[in-house]
Copies of this chain bind each other. A is one copy, B any other.
């Protein structure tokens, strides 16, 4: 499988069929093919299917009820968003800076798959979506008008990430990273434990901090399982004591 085929574009809650069509067309322009639509407005997606120049991609695109289902097999998740001063812990990379990161990640194990998330036209990616990301993908724009049109943002990112047509990295060592599904399980057990321990507050701020921490750890699949086992053991012990 070529590197292009291992990079997935995920549109989250996109509303405008023209933008969905434009995103698919940009994918065709730069040699990408795996499009997934999360939190889809089915009507918008249906209308987008007729977009000129992107029929094949739209015909094979899949709809998912949640972001979680859309990225379950992805091992590196980058979310298109402005750098957030409230969340400085989340690294923000320009498209040019993210290219070597993505290539290294694809080279590290054949199971690896990269997801690029783009949020809805109105709100962008929410904090909840960003808590599933390993890093932000931030296009450098001018302060007076930083907000880009969805279809144009997808085109600029894919242009910057476009690889020579025949790029297929050869995995050297094979230590696959945890998938989004594995990290999600781990996060939920950690939150359970923190809740049980009275660490979490009602406003959700600490939940999110914990979720982001799990993404930042860059766990391998094996280490994610190991840590999950540990946390489950602690939680079970706590519950049996109560």
Q: Mark A residues whose CB is within 8 Å of B.
A: 18, 22, 25-26, 28-31, 53-54, 139-142, 144-149, 151-152, 155-156, 159-160, 162, 165
Which residue of B30, B145, B155 contacts A155 across the interface (Cβ within 8 Å)? B155
What residue of chain B has the Cβ atom nearest to residue A23's Cβ? B152
In the complex, A147 Cα to B149 Cα: how many Å? 19
Identical chains bound together, number: 2
The 5 sampled A-B contact pairs (Cβ below 8 Å) are A25-B145, A29-B141, A29-B145, A30-B142, A149-B155
- Bound-state CA distance A91–B140 (Å) is 29
CB distance from A208 to the nearest CB of B (A): 28
- Cα separation A54 to B148 with both chains bound (whole Å): 11
A159-B156 contact in complex given A151-B149, A151-B151, C-beta closer than 8 Å? yes
- Counting chain B CB atoms within 10 Å of each CB, which of A22, A29, A148, A160 scores highest? A29
